[in-house]
């Protein structure tokens, strides 16, 4: 039935294939190909097109359109994999106001490692709490309302995801997890962009599906990015996470953190608060027009003397040096991407390395961990890992050919232990004070992930494409048993969903 539906829909769209092919990069998701723009972005692609929409109204300065959203997949592995999702995508523009809303309900079965992930988290990445363990149902929903007051100030409120960085991953804030309520203020002047993001999240660990027991938490993010020159930019990041209710005291949104231009650590100390604070910095450098080097460094907690001990141990290994303190919590990202490999602008390539120390993003109070709906707010692997990501794509007219290879090494804890990879565990339950290292645990795992696909853009206005893909995943923990699938998909490219880990 799914195959028939795929064929029928592709025939339905075929009469549109003669539409002019300019701006097709918008529908392919040009954000991941951009070099040198500001790095704080919304996960939605809010481009406004002027024709070819399913329903379209333009009258007296108001422009609105509605298109279908769908995600259909038929895959062949050890068992047949069938997924089907339907919904809508709506946009509106009126003078200085823009608005959008997207909904997609999706049901189907997945590869074994994906089903294991859903069973252990009770959450589907990007789509929230799930129903069913084999035939899994979840939905994606997002909406926002934006007011651009002038060239300097813009204000946005909504329910969605945001991303900070130039990479495939982000160690600050990523679009991996579930959408959430937020309010965003962006100030852009000269070569500076300053963003304040106020958001509400939920701790649902061990109470998944019972919303009356969810524990509310809040965050404020400050991110300042300075494009010093066209070829170099720096960014400064800070955030604080606190729980909405402490015992019988309903704290709510703490007014101490509403000041848009403060650093949180001094405020935290002055109020005697045990809240979770993260700080970080990023650097992006363009050695040439089509190449960019980028990096992120995030600190959750550390002591300078303890970091020095780690450096000494690395430079001159000595068992008498006490090193590997558990609270040296930090992450590092290094990356390179190019939009004109082999001097051909149709090529895009990216190489990225990420590492995050054990216990990073976690907290003594699990509600204040840097997570939402059981999923990390930053990197999908959480903490206690190394990762290498490589991507290569070639785009010609409506065709795109893509390959991706990931390699990761991560430590894991069995029940009753805590070696620092799971953000939902309290750091109080840690196994040891010193000699903590990446990959530690009751076992570790090396994962190889490969994805290769060829896609054709069927209808630009709907961002609809049909693709034939191959995915391969090998886990050392499962004795090298590989999972692989060939699948045919038909989807509207409206949001990202990551299972590449």
Burial of 202 (0-12, 13-18, 19+ CB in 10 A): buried
Question: Could you tell me the CATH number of the domain that includes residue 341?
Answer: 2.40.160.10
Residue 261 within any structural domain of the chain? yes
Residue 469's DSSP bridge partners are 453, 487
Residue 360 within any structural domain of the chain? yes
Non-local (6+) Cβ contacts of 416 within 8 A are: none
Residue among 488, 500, 467 at smallest CA distance from 77 = 488
Residue 65's DSSP bridge partners are 56, 91
81-95, 105-119, 312-326: least confident range: 312-326
* pLDDT at residue 80, as a whole number: 86
> Distance of alpha carbon 408 from its chain centroid, rounded?
17
Domain that holds residue 60: 2-492
Q: How far apart are CA 169 and CA 360, in angstroms?
A: 16
* pLDDT at residue 60, as a whole number: 86
Whether the pLDDT of residue 235 is over 80: the answer is yes
Residue 301's DSSP bridge partners are 329
Non-local (6+) Cβ contacts of 4 within 8 A are: none
116-130, 342-356, 382-396: least confident range: 116-130
* pLDDT at residue 323, as a whole number: 86
Residue 497 within any structural domain of the chain? no
* pLDDT at residue 139, as a whole number: 92
Residue 324, by phi and psi: left (phi above 0), alpha (psi -120 to 50) or beta? left
pLDDT tens column, 433-461: 999 999 999 999 999 999 999 999 999 88
pLDDT tens column, 172-207: 999 998 999 999 999 999 999 999 999 999 988 877
pLDDT tens column, 17-36: 322 333 333 344 443 445 55
Residue 85's DSSP bridge partners are 71, 106
More confidently predicted of 273 and 389: 389
CB 159 within 8 A of CB 182: yes
The total of other beta-carbon atoms located within 10 Å of residue 34's CB is: 15
Query: What DSSP letter does each residue of 411-445 carry, written as one string?
Result: EE--TT---S--TTS-GGG-S-SS---TT-SSEEE
Whether the pLDDT of residue 113 is over 60: the answer is yes
Query: What DSSP letter does each residue of 105-173 carry, written as one string?
Result: EEEE---HHHHHHHHHHSEETTTEE-B-SSSEEEEEEEEEEEEE-SSSEEEEEEEE-EEESSSSS-SSB
Non-local (6+) Cβ contacts of 367 within 8 A are: 203, 215, 217, 243
CB 55 within 8 A of CB 461: no
Query: Tokens 């990959």 appear where?
Result: 439
Residue 501 within any structural domain of the chain? no
Residue 498 within any structural domain of the chain? no
26-40, 57-71, 151-165, 331-345: least confident range: 26-40
Residue 24: DSSP 8-state:
H
Query: Tokens 């195959």 appear where?
Result: 3
pLDDT tens column, 152-162: 999 999 999 99
The total of other beta-carbon atoms located within 10 Å of residue 32's CB is: 15
pLDDT band at 9 (very low <50, low <70, confident <90, very high): very low
Percent of residues, the chain, with pLDDT higher than 70: 86
Non-local (6+) Cβ contacts of 378 within 8 A are: 169, 170, 171, 172, 173, 174, 176, 298, 331, 361, 370
Residue 499 within any structural domain of the chain? no
pLDDT tens column, 242-286: 988 776 777 777 777 787 776 766 665 555 568 899 999 999 999
Residue among 57, 127, 29, 116 at smallest CA distance from 85 = 127
Q: How far apart are CA 373 and CA 139, in angstroms?
A: 14
Residue 162 within any structural domain of the chain? yes
Number of domains in the chain: 1
Residue 231's DSSP bridge partners are none
Residue 500 within any structural domain of the chain? no
Non-local (6+) Cβ contacts of 218 within 8 A are: 198, 199, 200, 201, 241, 242, 244, 252, 253, 254
Mean pLDDT of the chain: 85
CA distances from 341 to 11, 167, 173, 230 (A): 35, 17, 28, 20
> What average pLDDT does this structure show over 307-331?
86
């Amino acid at each position: 039935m799914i195959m028939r539906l795929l064929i029928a829909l592709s025939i339905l769209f075929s009469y549109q294939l003669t539409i002019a092919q300019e701006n097709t990069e918008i529908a392919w998701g040009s954000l991941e190909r951009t070099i040198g723009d500001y790095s704080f972005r919304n996960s939605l692609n809010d481009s406004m097109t002027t024709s070819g929409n399913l329903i379209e109204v333009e009258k007296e300065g108001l422009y609105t359109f509605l298109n279908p959203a769908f995600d259909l997949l038929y895959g062949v592995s050890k068992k047949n994999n069938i997924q089907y999702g339907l919904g809508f995508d709506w946009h509106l523009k009126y003078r200085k106001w823009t608005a959008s809303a997207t909904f997609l309900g999706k049901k189907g079965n997945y590869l074994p490692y994906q089903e294991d992930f859903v069973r252990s988290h009770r959450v589907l990445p990007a789509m929230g709490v799930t129903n069913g363990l084999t035939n899994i149902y979840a939905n994606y929903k997002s909406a926002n309302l934006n007011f651009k007051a002038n060239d300097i100030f813009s204000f946005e409120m909504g329910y969605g995801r945001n991303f900070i960085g130039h990479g495939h991953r982000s160690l600050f804030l990523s679009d991996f997890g579930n959408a959430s309520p937020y309010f965003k203020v962006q100030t852009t002047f000269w070569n500076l962009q300053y963003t304040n993001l106020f958001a509400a999240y939920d701790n649902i660990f061990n109470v998944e599906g019972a919303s009356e027991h969810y524990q509310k938490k809040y965050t404020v993010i400050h991110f300042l990015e300075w494009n010093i020159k066209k070829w170099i930019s720096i960014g400064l990041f800070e955030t604080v996470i606190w729980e909405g209710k402490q015992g019988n005291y309903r704290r709510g949104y703490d007014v101490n953190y509403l000041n848009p231009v403060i650093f949180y650590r001094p405020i935290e100390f002055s109020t005697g608060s045990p809240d979770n604070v993260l700080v970080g910095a990023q650097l992006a450098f363009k050695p040439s027009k089509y190449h960019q080097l980028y990096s992120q460094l995030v600190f959750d907690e550390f002591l300078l003397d303890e970091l020095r001990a780690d450096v000494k141990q690395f430079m001159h290994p000595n068992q008498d040096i006490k090193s590997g303190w558990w609270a040296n919590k930090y992450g590092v990202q290094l990356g390179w991407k190019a939009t004109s490999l082999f001097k051909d602008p149709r090529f895009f390539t990216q190489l990225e390395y990420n590492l995050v120390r054990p216990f990073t993003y976690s907290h003594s109070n699990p509600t204040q961990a840097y997570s939402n709906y059981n999923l990390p707010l930053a990197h999908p692997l959480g903490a206690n890992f190394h990762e290498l990501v490589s991507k290569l794509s070639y785009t010609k007219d409506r065709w795109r050919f893509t390959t991706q290879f990931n390699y990761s090494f991560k430590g894991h804890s069995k029940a009753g232990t805590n070696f620092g990879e799971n953000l939902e565990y309290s750091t109080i339950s840690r196994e040891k004070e010193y000699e903590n290292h990446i990959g530690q645990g009751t076992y570790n795992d090396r994962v190889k992930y490969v994805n290769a696909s060829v896609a054709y853009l069927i209808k630009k206005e709907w961002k609809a494409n049909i693709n034939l893909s191959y995915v391969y995943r090998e886990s050392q923990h499962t004795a090298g048993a590989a999972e692989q699938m060939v699948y045919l998909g038909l989807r509207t490219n409206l949001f990202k969903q990551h299972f590449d880990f």
